[in-house]
Amino acid sequence: MTYGSHIVNKQSYYKERFKEANTRLQQYPSLQSVFGSLSWQSDKTLQENPIILQLSRERRRGDDVAWLSTVEDAIDSATSKLSSSDIQDLHSELCSPDGNKVMSRVTELVCYQYFSSQGPSVMPEPSLSVNRNTDLRVDDTCPVYIEITRLGTAKTERAIEDVYQSAAEEISKQLPRNKYLRLDINTTELDWSGSPLDKKGSKWEILNQVQRTHLLKLLQHRDALRLRDIQSMPSDWTLQKIIEDAVKFGTHGTFGQNWNGILNKPQFSRPLQTQAKEFEGPIVSALMGDAKSGLVELHSEMHSPSSAATHQEERFLRRVREHKLEDKIKKAQREPSEANLLMISATHWLARGYTESNDQPLGRGQQEKIKDEIQETLKQYSIPELVGVIMMEDGPSKSLWIENPNADSNLVNDYKGTHIYQHMS
C-alpha cells in the first residue's frame, strides 16, 4: 500500500516509539544482541527501521507481530552456521535505516525458519560450485538450492509517496495539533504529465482540492466524508442542494444522516455554496479524529475494479518480470545439475490470496495472470536446473508455485518428492 505522512512533533513521537521498542526488545534476546540498547539521541537515523517500529507496535497495542518471533528464532539458529563476516553483514543490514534492505533480510530469515521447522537441515549462505553464493540450501530428500528476493518499492510508488509526504506536511499547518487526518487518493487523478509523474503538479491537485472544498471545515461537523458521493452528483449542484435533497428524499447515501444540522450554521455558509464539480479531484474520502500529536496521512485508494487498480496491476506484473525474475535469471545464482528454486516475495493488495483462500477473492483473479507472466518469461531461457518459481506474500506459508516449463523433468520429479514441495503445494 502506497502512503505518505507527516508528524507535527516528530521528536516527541519517535522518542516515545524508541522507548516502547527498547522495552519490548528485552523479550527478544537475539534481536537485542543486534540492536543493543536503543536511544533516540544516538539511533535517530533508525526511526523508519521496520523492526523498531514493529517492536514499538507490539508494546503499544499488546498484540504480537508474528514475524518478529520468527526472526528472533531464525537469528538464534542461523548464526551458529554463519561465518563471523556473514554475521556482521546480517547485523548491519537488520540495523539499516533503509526499510527495503531490512525487509529483504527479514524475508530471508523468515524463509530459513520456515524450512527449518519442516525438519530438513537448512544451510544459510551456501557456496556454489560456480564461485557464487545463494541464500539457502535445504537438505531434503534431495538438496534444494534457494535464491530469495523481495520486490521493493517501485520508482512510481516512491514518487507518489514523495507527493503524499510533501502534501501532508503542508496540510498539517492548517490542522490542530491534537488531530489526525487521513485522505484516500485516487492516483489516476494526480498529474501524470511528468516521468513517472509531475510531483509539483500532483501536490497542487491535492492541496487545491482541500482548499476549494473547505474540506477541513466540513470535517469539523462530520468526522468522515466520502467525496466520491459528492463527485457523483450533477456538477452544478451546491453542497447545500445535495444535503437538502438527501434529507427530503432520503437519497445520496450518507448525506441524509445528521447533515441537516449544518444548514443553518453561519460558519458553514461558504462551504455550502461549493458546487459538486469543485469536489472533483484525487481525494475520494477523508477522515478526521483525535490524536496525541498532529498527524496527517495520505493513502492510495484500494478499490477494484478501477482505472487506478488496472494501472497498479500492470506495474506490479511488469516489475515482477523485469526487476526480479529476469534479473535473477541473469545473475545465475544456481547450482548446476541440482534442483534450484527462485522465491520472490511480492506483496500487493491486488495479488493477495496466493493460497487461494476464500477470504482473499482479489488474489484468485491475479493468480493466472502471475503464472502466465512468469511462465512466458521462463520459456525464453534455457535453465534446466531451475525447477520453478515460488511467489509469496509474507512468507512461504502463503505462496504460489509456478513450474518452469523448460526445467529438467528429472529434477522437477526429485523436487516434487521433497517435504518442501509437499508442504507448499
Q: Which residues pair with 122 in a beta bridge?
A: 138
Can you give the pTM of this predicted structure?
0.81
**283 within domain boundaries:** yes
**265 within domain boundaries:** yes
**35 within domain boundaries:** no
Q: Which of 8-12, 200-204, 233-237, 255-259 has the lowest mean pLDDT?
A: 255-259
Which residues lie closer than 8 Å to 372 by C-beta, 6 or more apart?
none
Q: Which residues pair with 225 in a beta bridge?
A: 286
Give the C-alpha separation, 263 to 249, whole Å.
16
Is it the case that residue 143 has pLDDT exceeding 50? yes
* Buried-exposed string 253-288: b where 16+ CB fall within 10 A, e elsewhere: eebbeebeebeeeeebeebbebbbebbbbbbbbbeb
Host H or E run for residue 143: strand 143-150
Give the C-alpha separation, 399 to 391, whole Å.
5
**298 within domain boundaries:** no
Residue that is written with C-alpha cell 536503543 in the block: 38
- 50, 106 Cβ separation under 8 angstroms: yes
The top-scoring range by mean pLDDT among 143-157, 208-222, 318-332, 393-407 is: 208-222
Give the range of the structural domain holding residue 238, as residue numbers without chain letter. Answer: 180-290
**401 within domain boundaries:** no
**110 within domain boundaries:** no
Question: Which has the closest alpha carbon to 217: 281, 275, 169, 265?
Answer: 265
Compute the average pLDDT of residues 280-300: 90
**234 within domain boundaries:** yes
Compute the average pLDDT of residues 359-369: 59
pLDDT value at residue 359: 46
Reading the block at residue 191, the C-alpha cell is 498529474
Q: Which of 112-116, 140-144, 363-367 has the lowest mean pLDDT?
A: 363-367
pLDDT value at residue 300: 87
Reported confidence tier of residue 301, pLDDT bands at 50, 70, 90: confident
**202 within domain boundaries:** yes
Question: Which has the closest alpha carbon to 424: 352, 329, 356, 338?
Answer: 356
Question: Which has the closest alpha carbon to 313: 267, 355, 352, 360?
Answer: 352
How far is residue 412 from each of residues 140, 167, 402, measured CA to CA in Å?
A: 14, 51, 12
| Percent of the chain at pLDDT exceeding 90 | 48
Question: How many domains does the chain divide into?
Answer: 1
pLDDT value at residue 362: 40
- 388, 402 Cβ separation under 8 angstroms: yes
Query: With the C-alpha atoms ordered 42, 45, 47, 52, is the resulting torsion angle positive or negative?
Result: negative
Residue that is written with C-alpha cell 534444494 in the block: 144
